[in-house]
């Protein structure tokens, strides 16, 4: 008898935990995909797998909540115990949606994967986000209560109340069956709701993968006239920016310009992140996004008004500076042209000793802009129009060396140069100034050197320090032989490096974090981190640093 009652309780706990985990997660999916204004595309199948996965992840938390809630609430009435179980579960579940330090978003399963972002983390950074994180936890815990509390009230009343007038085991068996049916019905309802909302309210999602590759830093997977960073979409479609496995550091996807008055814009993030962020774009026109760490990383979206035959650039555009200009203006044309040049490596200028021709290409599509008075300006072929407006192709002057002679070497980070035996771009190039010839290329395939951005040398000029801007490493190599000495993990997106004149210590600015790392001479170890972020400037990112205090970009 004792054994059977014990098993009954275990079974009751498991049923309650399953109910709690899957139904609450199902509810959160519905809430975050529809009610909170996020958008999730796809069919019911697209929702079912993530819900089941997230439900399984939440199941151990639900078991803990049920066991803990029942134990600590054993002297309470059923409503009290239900509130305790639901509350504990909400608090256990909520942190999975809160920014996490140095984590890979893909490693965190939860109903809020679309909202995950990770501010990169030193202790100081974590302190700055703790209040926001706490509020986020409380908010998510409250949202969970909408499903968890009624479920536990019903579940506990059926499974764990003690109606002494009724034979216990006789009641529990049908009660278990009722709860099992309820789980199935509620889970199916959740899936159906999510499917229904995705079919009616949610919009197609256009994904841009952030990468370390020159030109294609925001990669749509689709080539449009040489750029892979442009998406053409319908009003109310969503753009999703994924900072995932294609890049080795953190980034932002921040509005640079947008149609004046566009709903929900500008779009920005408080911290450089790993994971994904998304924005729904409803107003027709041109949108450009930039990474605030790496300001040549550009993405564009054209929200096309289906009522016009051309692609719509909108009436006016607002720049992040606050300036507003008509879309048919010299500045607007120059900005759009710059986008198509920067995001297409075939449009880069190449200088040659005998001279060369620069002939950039643009999409040969009709676009619709508007002049200062608001009159439509139809451009039948953007490629032809830009080539005419900017007098292209352009003849470039011959690349000839200086007439005088210099002393010593000049080292240049040839950041986009691709070489064999590694996947990431970038080399360091030495030029002899006595005769202006390239004497050495350092690619360091053994450490897959990634976007080397800035260099410095030690007092004796025996080593070169080089920052990997799209990674988290400071590379040290021998100046004369190019041999790797060490590759030191310093933090996210190290941008610039220089040494102290008094101690020969090395200072590296952490563009992805907002501090300066100070290392011992030759970068043998990290001595300290100098915070450049204050409570008043929580979003600051340190690009260059001057000892001892540093500057902010
Ligand atoms: Cu970036």
pLDDT of residue 408: 94
Helix (H), strand (E) at residue 509: strand 506-510
Cα(394) to ligand 1 centroid in Å equals: 31
Average pLDDT on 30-47 reads 48
pLDDT of residue 105: 31
Sequence-separated contacts (24+) of 175-179 with Cβ below 8 Å: 176/11, 176/12, 176/15, 179/15, 179/16, 179/19, 179/154, 179/155
pLDDT of residue 113: 32
Cα(341) to ligand 1 centroid in Å equals: 18
CATH homologous superfamily for 205-396?
Cupredoxins -  blue copper proteins (2.60.40.420)
Distances (CA, A) of 223 to 33, 230, 240: 30, 8, 18
Cα(422) to ligand 1 centroid in Å equals: 20
Model confidence at 45: pLDDT above 90: no
Task: State the chain's maximal CA–CA distance in angstroms.
Answer: 106
Cα(509) to ligand 1 centroid in Å equals: 15
Cα(496) to ligand 1 centroid in Å equals: 15
Cα(107) to ligand 1 centroid in Å equals: 21
H and E: helices and strands count for the chain = 7, 26
pLDDT in tens, 367-406: 999 999 999 999 999 999 999 999 999 999 999 999 999 9
CATH homologous superfamily for 409-531?
YVTN repeat-like/Quinoprotein amine dehydrogenase (2.130.10.10)
Report the percent of the chain where pLDDT is more than 70: 76
- CA 226, CA 229: separation in Å to the nearest integer? 9
Exposed e or buried b per residue across 362-384, where buried means at least 16 C-beta atoms within 10 angstroms of its C-beta:
bbebebbbbeeeeeebebeebbe
Cα(382) to ligand 1 centroid in Å equals: 29
pLDDT in tens, 349-366: 999 999 999 999 999 999
Classified as helix, coil or strand, 268 is coil
- Kindly compute the dihedral angle of the four CA atoms of residues 408, 413, 417, 422, in this order, to the nearest 10 degrees: 100
- CA 180, CA 159: separation in Å to the nearest integer? 11
Classified as helix, coil or strand, 231 is strand
Cα(297) to ligand 1 centroid in Å equals: 6
Cα(453) to ligand 1 centroid in Å equals: 13
Average pLDDT on 91-95 reads 76
Q: How does the average pLDDT of the chain come out, rounded?
A: 82
- CA 132, CA 113: separation in Å to the nearest integer? 18
Cα(494) to ligand 1 centroid in Å equals: 11
Classified as helix, coil or strand, 97 is helix
pLDDT of residue 112: 32
Among positive and negative, which fits the CA dihedral 22, 23, 25, 29? positive
Classified as helix, coil or strand, 413 is strand
Q: Scanning the structure block, which residue is given the tokens 């640079």?
A: 256
Among 484, 479, 550, 487, smallest CA distance to 523 is for: 487
pLDDT of residue 150: 85
- CA 322, CA 183: separation in Å to the nearest integer? 53
pLDDT in tens, 261-309: 999 999 999 999 999 999 999 999 999 999 999 999 999 999 999 999 9
pLDDT band at 198 (very low <50, low <70, confident <90, very high): very low
Residue 237 half-sphere exposure, CB side, CA atoms within 13 Å? 20
pLDDT of residue 19: 84
Cα(273) to ligand 1 centroid in Å equals: 9
Cα(293) to ligand 1 centroid in Å equals: 5
Average pLDDT on 112-132 reads 36
- CA 55, CA 186: separation in Å to the nearest integer? 13
Task: Locate the domains of the chain by residue range.
Answer: 7-112+129-200, 205-396, 409-531
Concatenate the DSSP letters of all residues of 287-316 into one string: EEEE-SSSTT-EEEEEE--TTSSSEE--SE
pLDDT of residue 108: 28
pLDDT in tens, 139-181: 777 878 888 888 888 887 877 665 544 444 444 555 556 555 6
- CA 106, CA 99: separation in Å to the nearest integer? 13
Among the residue ranges 95-109, 164-178, 441-455, 524-538, the one predicted with the least confidence is 95-109
pLDDT in tens, 404-420: 999 999 999 999 999 99
- CA 112, CA 97: separation in Å to the nearest integer? 6
Model confidence at 119: pLDDT above 70: no
Average pLDDT on 339-351 reads 97
pLDDT of residue 134: 61
Q: Which two tokens stand for residue 129?
A: 């986000």
Among 309, 287, 307, smallest CA distance to 298 is for: 287
Cα(14) to ligand 1 centroid in Å equals: 46
Query: How many other C-beta atoms can be found within 10 angstroms of the C-beta atom of residue 388?
Result: 10
Query: How many other C-beta atoms can be found within 10 angstroms of the C-beta atom of residue 457?
Result: 16
pTM: 0.66
């Amino acid at each position: 008898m004792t054994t059977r009652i014990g098993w009954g309780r275990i079974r009751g706990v498991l049923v309650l935990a399953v109910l709690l985990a899957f139904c609450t997660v199902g509810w959160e999916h519905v809430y975050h995909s529809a009610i909170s204004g996020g958008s999730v595309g796809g069919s019911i199948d697209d929702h079912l797998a993530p819900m089941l996965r997230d439900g399984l992840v939440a199941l151990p938390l639900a078991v803990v909540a049920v066991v803990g809630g029942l134990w600590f609430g054993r002297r309470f009435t059923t409503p009290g115990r239900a509130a305790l179980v639901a509350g504990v579960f909400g608090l256990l579940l909520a942190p999975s949606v809160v920014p996490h330090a140095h984590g890979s978003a893909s490693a965190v399963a939860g109903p809020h994967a679309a909202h995950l972002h990770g501010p990169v983390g030193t202790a100081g950074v974590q302190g700055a986000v703790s209040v926001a994180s706490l509020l986020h936890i409380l908010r998510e815990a409250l949202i969970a209560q909408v499903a968890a509390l009624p479920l536990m009230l019903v579940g506990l009343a059926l499974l764990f109340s003690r109606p002494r007038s009724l034979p216990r085991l006789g009641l529990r068996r049908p009660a278990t069956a009722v709860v099992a049916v309820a789980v199935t019905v509620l889970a199916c309802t959740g899936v159906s709701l999510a499917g229904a909302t995705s079919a009616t309210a949610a919009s197609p999602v256009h994904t841009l993968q952030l990468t370390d590759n020159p030109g294609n830093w925001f990669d749509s997977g689709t080539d449009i006239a040489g750029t892979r960073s442009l998406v053409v979409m319908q009003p109310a479609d969503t753009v999703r920016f994924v900072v995932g496995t294609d890049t080795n550091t953190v980034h932002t996807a921040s509005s640079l310009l947008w149609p004046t008055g566009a709903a929900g814009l500008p779009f920005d993030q408080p911290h450089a992140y790993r994971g994904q962020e998304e924005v729904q774009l409803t107003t027709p026109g041109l949108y450009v996004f930039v990474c605030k760490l790496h300001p040549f990383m550009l993405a564009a979206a054209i929200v096309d008004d289906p009522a016009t035959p051309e692609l719509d650039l909108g009436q006016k555009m607002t720049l992040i500076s606050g300036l507003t200009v008509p879309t048919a203006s010299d500045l607007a044309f120059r900005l759009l042209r710059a986008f198509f040049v920067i995001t297409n490596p075939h449009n880069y200028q190449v200088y040659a000793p005998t001279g060369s021709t620069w002939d950039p290409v643009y999409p040969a599509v009709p676009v619709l802009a508007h002049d200062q008075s608001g009159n439509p300006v139809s451009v039948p072929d953007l490629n032809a129009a830009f080539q005419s407006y900017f007098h292209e192709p352009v003849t470039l002057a011959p690349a000839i060396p200086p007439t005088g002679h210099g002393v010593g070497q000049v080292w240049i980070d040839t950041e986009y140069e691709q070489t064999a035996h590694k996947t990431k771009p970038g080399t360091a190039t030495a030029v002899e100034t006595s005769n202006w010839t390239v004497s050495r290329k350092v690619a360091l395939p053994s450490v897959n050197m990634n976007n080397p951005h800035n260099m410095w040398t030690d007092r004796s000029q025996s080593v070169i320090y080089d920052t990997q801007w799209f990674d988290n490493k400071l590379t040290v190599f021998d100046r004369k032989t190019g041999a790797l000495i060490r590759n030191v993990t310093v933090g996210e997106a190290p941008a610039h490096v220089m040494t102290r004149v008094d101690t020969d210590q090395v200072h590296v600015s952490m563009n992805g974090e907002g501090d300066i790392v100070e290392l011992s001479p030759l970068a043998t170890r990290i001595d300290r981190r100098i915070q450049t972020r204050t409570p008043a400037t929580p979003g600051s990112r340190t690009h260059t640093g001057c000892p001892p205090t540093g500057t902010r970009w």
